[in-house]
Amino acid sequence: MRALKFFLRMWGFIVGMVLTFAALPVGECKVAVDDIRSAFIEEVEEISKTTYVIGHTCPDSDTVCSAIAYANLKQKQNFKCEPRISGAINKETDFILKYFDVDAPPVIENVSGKNIILVDHNISAQAVAGIENACVMEIIDHHNLFGDIKAQKPIFYLTMPVGCTATIVWLCYRQNNVAIDKKMAGLMFGAILSDTDNLRSANTTGLDIEAANNLQKIAAIDDRNKFFVSMEKDFTNYDGMSEREIIFIDFKEFGAGNLKCGWSTVATLNISEREKIKMRLDDFMKKFFDKQGLDMFFIKLHEIENYSAEMLAYGVGAREILSAALGLEDKNNFVLEKNLPNKKIARGITAAIENNRTAA
């Protein structure tokens, strides 16, 4: 009887210990991460060089705002860190920066020999010139992994399948217990609305929504929808812009099979605006596509009011590839009643091109 009591008591003790330790790793982990961070800081201080946080070329709002907000977080953690951009900002980003009274970061044309942190991209085709000779310290991103960026030592590589890099930056503030000021909250809020089409895109996650709600409060924005429309109104006004300028507002390159593909996303306010811009760009692309140095060129015209989209395809076999990628029979008309994520379509295009190659 005594032995049984002892056994039960010991058993209770063991179960209790197991439960206690099972609950511990969160705290344990935090200590370990702080250790790594301080080692990183020491190294940065030792070489006493400024680290530049920079997004992709053809900068969009997420790339610019995430660079500013992440550099701000690093500064608050005593890093010598500054945001940079690779080129002129677009009208949407300009609206966000002006609304929250933040200056656009300086442009950097070449990062060779610099310490850099990449946000919102992980591929050299989308990176600023000189990337192959830069010292990449961290990558914070939410895109497909193509992985051709090299680092000479292990680095922080935070990639999450969320709708926006700014959501990950928001999480970094939270995890590091750093307070977010109104300006930074506004920039991250704007970036999330931009990348997730006002939290409607298919790649919007619960974390994006949580981040947006939290940041909206800090930024003191009363009406999210109203803010989004005013943000997009300037951005989707293409008066006074050339077709080439419109196409390169949001342009990315990607490799598929052995082909080089271009991808441009153009935002429009409603369906009649979408039709108008389609006529302009289609005319232009039919004349000038062969001068882009790409095998295929895809344009997505998305429309904000009803959240629909239309795709255009240029290059030999591009229409066939796009119809396979979208699962649409019609090879002349690529209207999507409900907009699809760029990533998803690009994955479909890559798969269709690779299928084609193995079939040939």
Catalog residues that contact Mn ion under the rule CB under 5 A: 62, 120, 165, 195
For Mn ion, give the closer residue by CB, 82 or 120: 120
> How far, in Å, CA of 222 to CA of 204, rounded?
21
> How far, in Å, CA of 160 to CA of 72, rounded?
21
> How far, in Å, CA of 342 to CA of 300, rounded?
8
**CB 164 to Mn ion: min, Å:** 5
**CB 219 to Mn ion: min, Å:** 19
**CB 166 to Mn ion: min, Å:** 8
30 HSE (CA, 13 A, CB side): 8
**CB 60 to Mn ion: min, Å:** 7
**CB 95 to Mn ion: min, Å:** 17
For Mn ion, give the closer residue by CB, 156 or 284: 156
Element (H, E) at 52: strand 51-54
Other beta carbons within 10 Å of 139: 21
For Mn ion, give the closer residue by CB, 51 or 165: 165
> How far, in Å, CA of 220 to CA of 14, rounded?
50
**CB 339 to Mn ion: min, Å:** 16
Which residues have CB under 8 Å from 189's CB, separation 6+? Answer: 166, 212, 215, 216, 219, 221
For Mn ion, give the closer residue by CB, 144 or 356: 144
Q: By C-alpha distance, which of 158, 142, 173, 141 is closest to 73?
A: 173
Distances (CA, A) of 303 to 41, 101, 270, 277: 44, 28, 5, 11
**CB 163 to Mn ion: min, Å:** 8
Which residues have CB under 8 Å from 181's CB, separation 6+? Answer: 72, 218
For Mn ion, give the closer residue by CB, 69 or 318: 69
**CB 243 to Mn ion: min, Å:** 25
For Mn ion, give the closer residue by CB, 165 or 323: 165
**CB 343 to Mn ion: min, Å:** 10
For Mn ion, give the closer residue by CB, 62 or 273: 62
Q: Structure tokens of 352?
A: 């269709």
For Mn ion, give the closer residue by CB, 300 or 319: 300
For Mn ion, give the closer residue by CB, 62 or 138: 62
DSSP E strands, 160-295: 251-256, 259-268
Element (H, E) at 353: helix 342-359
> How far, in Å, CA of 198 to CA of 323, rounded?
28
Angle 103-166-230 (CA atoms, 0-180°, nearest 5)? 60
| Nearest residue (beta carbon) to Mn ion | 62
